[in-house]
């Protein structure tokens, strides 16, 4: 599925209307200002988060947050959110974990990269080792708690990217595979 962005109605530079057209030397429609000619590029948004784990091996638990905001109010997710300007992906993931769960983590490697083309997003989840089982959720979270695999509320997971990341993790752990990068597309 091709995502067709249409974010710009007016030019952020001068306020004039924008039209979508293929500029010279390009091959895609772009928002182009009708007055100043500025071309505005629309690129995917990065969502960054963590897969926080408390404990080792099959007894290890994952941290999930119950959303206090839309979309998907009241459903469970991994701590994640939009990457901010001026931070790296790993810094953003750690910040989101602190903001949403009040969890302190030791960041590990990038674990899952999922393209969500239909909404123009790329989701990046890092493995993270929880430094404590104590949490202080922020205003975007109703509850933050640890789950063993058999306790995960699979029918109440907020996003397909979170479900897929959790499935990869539990399968890797069951099969005793080394944790390595998983990537794919959500269609």
Residue ranges per structural domain of the chain: 1-42, 45-185
Q: Over the stretch 115-166, which tens digit does the pLDDT of each residue have?
A: 999 999 999 999 999 999 999 999 999 999 999 999 999 999 999 999 999 9
Q: Please tell me the predicted confidence (pLDDT) of residue 6.
A: 75
pTM summary value: 0.91
Task: Please tell me the distance from the alpha carbon of residue 187 to that of residue 180, in angstroms, as a whole number.
Answer: 23
User: 3-state DSSP call for residue 34?
Assistant: coil
- Residue 33, H or E segment: strand 30-33
Q: What is the pLDDT of residue 187?
A: 85
CATH superfamily of this structure's domain 45-185: Nucleoside Triphosphate Pyrophosphohydrolase (3.90.79.10)
- Give residue 146's pLDDT: 98
128 within 8 A of 50, measured Cβ to Cβ: yes
Q: How far is CA 50 from the centre of its chain?
A: 9
85 Cβ contact list (under 8 Å, min separation 6): none
CATH topology for the 1-42 domain? Ubiquitin Ligase Nedd4; Chain: W; (2.20.70)
**Matching CATH topology for 1-42 and 45-185?**
no
In angstroms, the first-to-last Cα distance of the chain is 7
pLDDT at 1: 45
The answer to whether 54 and 145 are in contact (CB under 8 A) is no
DSSP-H helix ranges across the chain: 89-101, 160-174
Both tokens of 159, joined, read 């996003």
């Amino acid at each position: 599925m091709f995502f067709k962005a249409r974010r710009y109605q007016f030019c952020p530079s001068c306020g004039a209307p924008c039209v979508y057209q293929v500029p010279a030397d390009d091959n895609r429609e772009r928002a182009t200002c009708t007055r100043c000619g500025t071309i505005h590029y629309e690129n995917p948004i990065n969502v960054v988060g963590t897969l926080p784990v408390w404990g080792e091996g099959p007894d290890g638990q994952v941290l999930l947050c119950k959303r206090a905001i839309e979309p998907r109010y009241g459903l469970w997710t991994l701590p994640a959110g939009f990457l901010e300007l001026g931070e790296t992906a790993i810094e953003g993931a750690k910040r989101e974990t602190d903001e949403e769960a009040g969890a302190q983590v030791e960041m590990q490697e990038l674990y899952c990269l999922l393209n969500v083309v239909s909404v123009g997003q790329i989701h990046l989840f890092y493995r993270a080792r929880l430094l404590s089982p104590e949490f202080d959720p922020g205003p975007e979270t109703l509850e933050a708690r640890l789950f063993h695999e058999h306790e995960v509320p699979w029918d109440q997971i907020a996003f397909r990217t979170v479900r897929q990341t959790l499935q990869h993790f539990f399968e890797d752990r069951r099969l005793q595979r080394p944790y390595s990068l998983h990537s794919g597309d959500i269609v």
